[in-house]
Structure 1
Amino acid sequence: MDEHKETLRVGAAVRRRRRTLELTLSAVAERSGLSVPFLSQVENERARPSNRSLEKVADALGTTAVELLAAADPARTVDLVRADDTSVEDGSADGGGDFVVRSLVRGHHQMHAQEFVGDHDSGREFQLRNDVLMHVTEGAVEVEAEGRAYRLVRGDTLYLTGGVRHRWRATVAEARVVVVAVAEHIDAVDEPGPK
């Protein structure tokens, strides 16, 4: 597969920009002269806008068609991240304990997945907007969530709903934890405001 020739999914970029501006589909339709059903189809990848329509949408969103295309997701249905792929490593700690964070999903998608190997900043508290799943693939970790402590060993999975404050630490030097979360830009929680 030639990765440079893949189709871009501009709908997700349009939706992100519209939501950032807190605009409804109706407001964008009024500004662009395009219909609400058409804009909905574009955002949901059921219709591809012509260059002229994309320019109208971009103008309505205070940006350019080029910027929307640059922010578009590749329409990749299969993406393999190999175990030895170092291009997806996010870094390692200095001093207090070594760790590596490896992304298991490339690009800007609806789901994020990372593998933590070793310890990390156990004092850091997380509060993710959307749901998160933690799965221990090697070793053991302790998780503190909602005032309770949980000890997880190899094969254990902990699911936390969005908004739950939590922190965790490895209790074994070579612990491996896979963390999967709904991406922050996805409205997976009920919130007031434009949809």
Structure 2
Amino acid sequence: MTLELGRRISALRKERGLTMVALAARTELSQPFLSQIERGRARPSMPSLHRLASALGTTTPALLSGGERGVGSAAEIDDDAVSLVRVDQGSMVTQSNGQAKALVVGEREMYPLEFVTNVTEFEDYYQHPGAEFIFVISGHLEVDLAEKGIHRIGPGDTLYFAGGVSHRWRVVGLWPARLLVTQSGTSAPRASDENITVEHI
């Protein structure tokens, strides 16, 4: 998955007409680290993935699910109308504090992800243009929606918030939280679009 994700990031960067140095400046990540990511030799953290997605004019779920049709074994069926991802398929990012797995591949109107997370401290706020829906499968979570308050959710609970709402989360309790998170899709800008920016909150 690390190499596949790196190739995806490299292809998007080139499609957008960005050098590695320019992408490094937009994401505030080092150029050597970006080079390692693109070659599949380093795993980006979720905050780094968020920065990369924003700088490339896409979303983190879209980066994970991949916009390329029929690449590798990410899905059994992958066409304009259907994406069938078996339990042993799909793109996954694994880190020390959990993992995220894309549950569809290709460009879609929505991006469901399975998160297993044990993040116990709030990280930086994240913001994206699409709406987000969280369903807690197991564990307990505190979701900080900035001026919209902090909400504690547990198994069976759901939380929806509109695009543009700053948010972050942390696990409450001893066990990791397992979540189904769905973000609405956004169309990635064409290479000719000039106003691709990264928002740091």
Q: TM-score normalised to the size of structure 1?
A: 0.51
- The question of 1:90 aligning with 2:93 is answered yes
Backbone CA RMSD of aligned residues: 2.6
Q: What are the ranges of 5 or more consecutive residues in structure 1 without an aligned counterpart? A: 1-16, 21-70, 188-195
Residue 165 of structure 2: aligned partner: 164
Out of 176, 179, 188, the residue aligned to residue 178 of structure 2 is 176
Please list the CA deviations of residues 21-71 of structure 1 after superposition, one character each: whole Å capped at 9, or x if unmatched.
Answer: xxxxxxxxxxxxxxxxxxxxxxxxxxxxxxxxxxxxxxxxxxxxxxxxxx7
Please say if residues 68 and 106 of structure 2, whose CA atoms lie closer than 8 Å, have aligned partners that are also in contact: no
Within 5 A, what are the aligned runs for 1:39-188?
75-85=79-89, 87-93=90-96, 98-120=97-119, 122-147=122-147, 148-172=149-173, 173-185=175-187
Distance 1:146 1:122 in 2: 12
Q: CA deviation at 1:112?
A: 1.2
Closer/same/farther in 2, CA of residues 170 and 84 from structure 1, 3 Å limit:
farther
Closer/same/farther in 2, CA of residues 170 and 83 from structure 1, 3 Å limit:
farther
Closer/same/farther in 2, CA of residues 170 and 108 from structure 1, 3 Å limit:
same
Please say if residues 118 and 171 of structure 2, whose CA atoms lie closer than 8 Å, have aligned partners that are also in contact: yes
- How many aligned residue pairs are there? 114
- AA aligned to 2:87 is A
Distance 1:122 1:105 in 2: 28
- AA aligned to 1:139 is G
**Runs of 4+ with deviation above 6 angstroms:** none
Q: What are the ranges of 5 or more consecutive residues in structure 2 without an aligned counterpart? A: 1-14, 17-66, 70-77, 190-201
Q: CA deviation at 1:84?
A: 3.5
Please say if residues 110 and 186 of structure 1, whose CA atoms lie closer than 8 Å, have aligned partners that are also in contact: no
Identity over aligned pairs, percent = 29
- AA aligned to 1:125 is Y
Residue 178 of structure 1: SS of its match in structure 2?
strand
Distance 1:176 1:128 in 2: 21
Distance 2:113 2:126 in 1: 14
Distance 1:185 1:124 in 2: 25
- AA aligned to 1:135 is F
